[in-house]
A = this chain, B = another copy of it.
Amino acid sequence: MHVVVLAGGIGGAKFLSGVRELGHEVTAVINTGDDVTMHGLRITPDLDSVMYTLGGGADAERGWGRAGETWTVKEELAAYGAEPTWFGLGDRDIATHLVRTRMLAAGNPLSAVVEALCDRWKPGVRMLPMTDDRVETHVITEGTAIHFQEWWVRHRGQVPTERFVFTGAAAAKPAPGVLEAIAAADAILIAPSNPVVSIAPILAVPGVRDALVAAPAPVVGVSPIIGGAPVRGMADICLETLGIEVTASGVGDLYGPELLDGWLVDTADAGAAVEGVTVSARPLWMTDVAETAAIAADAIALGER
């Protein structure tokens, strides 16, 4: 069985570690809208979260970056007064960024860089960036566009937020293998990632949404909202910015019946309904890998109904 998973960073990585347990062939299509260039380094936070988590190198407690991380370079950059100082640039992480930046500068596409980095991390799933083209999520705040990382990491989303734009998306092409994997999938899952800034950028790459709608495989989403609140991150602020209700139904409606065949919600949201979509409820807390695998198995089963 071939399972395709659309995923963002931390939540997506956690979900994928459960999917991987099921023993299927897994292709993860990962958001690159968070990608950013800082201090001359090209940084791909969601790809790295998935790679480090599945490769056993992630810091589980902090939730992002490398286990055993140190911060020498960051402190030294601050001593030079080099901006920005608010981004969490760990020493171990920097080695990854150096390899990536150098490979990109040499003309390699991002998908080839991911493959090369995964030679070390062996994530056990096929990791594809949503696109090899540069797409960046920007946030319009008080008439100015700032990078999503600045909005998220520096301001914690606590600035007047008008909307999110996926700069470069209109001209982007899906990375090699993305459309093929979707067309050949037996099941397609949308991880419980932020629908506005993790999943929407993937859907904004021309061709991806159409491929999902046309795919013979069922598409099942797992709700990132449990009992009216996001499991992690700032999906609530993001959804409110779009005027969407912060509920399992709200996110289900956002994806909608054209995209979704099934929508898996938490038992706390058992009453959720999405017009034209089969909704099923089960506990969605990804407490450990076994439980997460059970969630993923139920999502696949929901698609087969």
Contacts and interface: CB of A to CB of B under 8 A. Distances in A.
A243 interface: no
Contacts of A70: 70, 72, 91
A73 interface: yes
Which of A39, A80, A120 lies at the interface centre, i.e. has the most chain B CB atoms within 10 A of its CB?
A80
A171 interface: no
Contacts of A96: 76, 80
Give how many copies assemble into the complex. 2
A73 B91 contact: yes
Which of A39, A40, A80, A82 lies at the interface centre, i.e. has the most chain B CB atoms within 10 A of its CB?
A40
B92 A40 contact: no
Nearest to A70: B72
Classify chain A: how many residues form its interface, as a range. Answer: 20 to 34
A165 interface: no
A107 interface: no
Contacts of A120: 79-81
Interface of A is mostly: helix
Interface in A217-249: none
B39 A102 contact: yes
A180 B297 CA distance: 75
B72 A102 contact: no
Interface in A77-118: 77, 79-82, 91-92, 94-96, 98-99, 101-102, 105, 117
B102 A76 contact: no
A289 interface: no
Given A70-B70, A72-B70, A72-B72, A80 B95 contact: yes
A95 B39 CA distance: 9
Contacts of A81: 119-120
A272 interface: no
A41 interface: yes
Contacts of A40: 40, 98, 101-102, 105
Interface in A54-86: 70, 72-73, 75-77, 79-82
Given A76-B91, A82-B95, 19 more contacts: A39-B102, A40-B40, A40-B102, A70-B72, A72-B91, A72-B92, A72-B95, A76-B94, A76-B95, A76-B96, A77-B98, A80-B96, A80-B99, A80-B117, A81-B120, A82-B98, A82-B99, A82-B102, A91-B91
Interface of A: 39-41, 70, 72-73, 75-77, 79-82, 91-92, 94-96, 98-99, 101-102, 105, 117, 119-120
**Which 5 residue pairs spanning A and B have beta carbons closest together?**
A76-B95, A72-B91, A40-B102, A39-B98, A73-B95
